[in-house]
Amino acid sequence: MHIQLLKSKIHRVKITQAELHYVGSITIDEDLMDAAHIIEHEKVQVVNINNGERLETYVIKGKRGSGEVCLNGPAARKAQVGDIVIIITYCSMDVAEAKTYQPVVIFPDEYNRL
């Protein structure tokens, strides 16, 4: 049997941009992606601290070192620039492995930097 559990989390980053007329997804600074072990096109859950909205989308690489966190497409309606969000990834593994697994959690500063 496999269970779903937390793989990684970017805890409390600020939305820097919202692009309604874009194909969709969330763009994240590549430094943040690397630190949180998130790869391009990976499915993520985005939880908005300011308004309680939750959404699922996929990740696009943002410019390394930019601090960029941009909601694209319809997701842009779920947050405003300046909102604080948590970006979460999950993985599937067997119960024995899950008992010893340690997720990666990063805590960027107020400028979305490590």
pLDDT in tens, 18-61: 999 998 799 999 999 999 999 999 999 999 999 999 999 999 99
Tell me, what's the pLDDT at 24? 79
Which class for 8: exposed (0-12), middle (13-18), buried (19 or more C-beta within 10 A)? buried
Asked about 101 being catalytic, the answer comes back as no
Helix (H, G, I), strand (E, B) or coil at 75: helix
Q: Point out the catalytic residue in the list 8, 25, 90, 92.
A: 25
pLDDT in tens, 68-92: 999 999 999 999 999 999 999 999 9
- For the domain 2-106, what is the CATH code? 2.40.40.20
Q: Point out the catalytic residue in the list 8, 22, 58, 90.
A: 58
Asked about 58 being catalytic, the answer comes back as yes
CB 92 within 8 A of CB 4: yes
